[in-house]
Amino acid sequence: MNDETKNIINWSSFSETRAVLGADFVRILGYFREDGTKSVAAIEEAIRQRNAVALVIPAHTLKGESAQFGADRLTELAEKIETEARQCVEYRQEPDELLPLVVGLRQLFEDSLAALERETNPLVQRAGAERREFASSNQSFGRL
């Protein structure tokens, strides 16, 4: 994990959600993957069309779903896009100033999702796994 992707997830929020959802967690994370991908695509399309109204709902959806999993940086970016898009609608302005925010959205979504999926993948070796492996192999030392 590089410095840019470090700290994009609030792991205490993630753990809380995982505990609350229990066995449904992986399924709900799958919904986030699907819905988030659609939301990011809709936001990108809306900015291409310079349509502030079309930015609001997918940004709102992405904000709520990413907050649920502790993807705080993604939540903050989606909230900023939603808030500024609402202001553009209110003042009847085109969302041109949102372009720099939207440009980084897809990469942040993909980085956030990758971090979440790494944490939920049972095949990923986590910190401490080497110590457990050593301890279990050490337990058989000297046995015939």
Q: For position 2, what pLDDT does the model report?
A: 52
Domain ranges, ordered by start, for the chain: 11-139
Put residue 7 in one of left, alpha, beta given phi > 0 → left and psi -120 to 50 → alpha.
left
Q: Which of 83, 73, 143 is nearest to 105 (CA)?
A: 73
Q: For position 95, what pLDDT does the model report?
A: 97
CATH class of 11-139: mainly alpha
Number of CB atoms found within 10 A of residue 4's CB: 10
Q: What is the pTM of this model?
A: 0.82
**Residues 38-92: pLDDT tens digits?**
999 999 999 999 999 999 999 999 999 999 999 999 999 999 999 999 999 999 9
DSSP letter assigned to residue 82: H
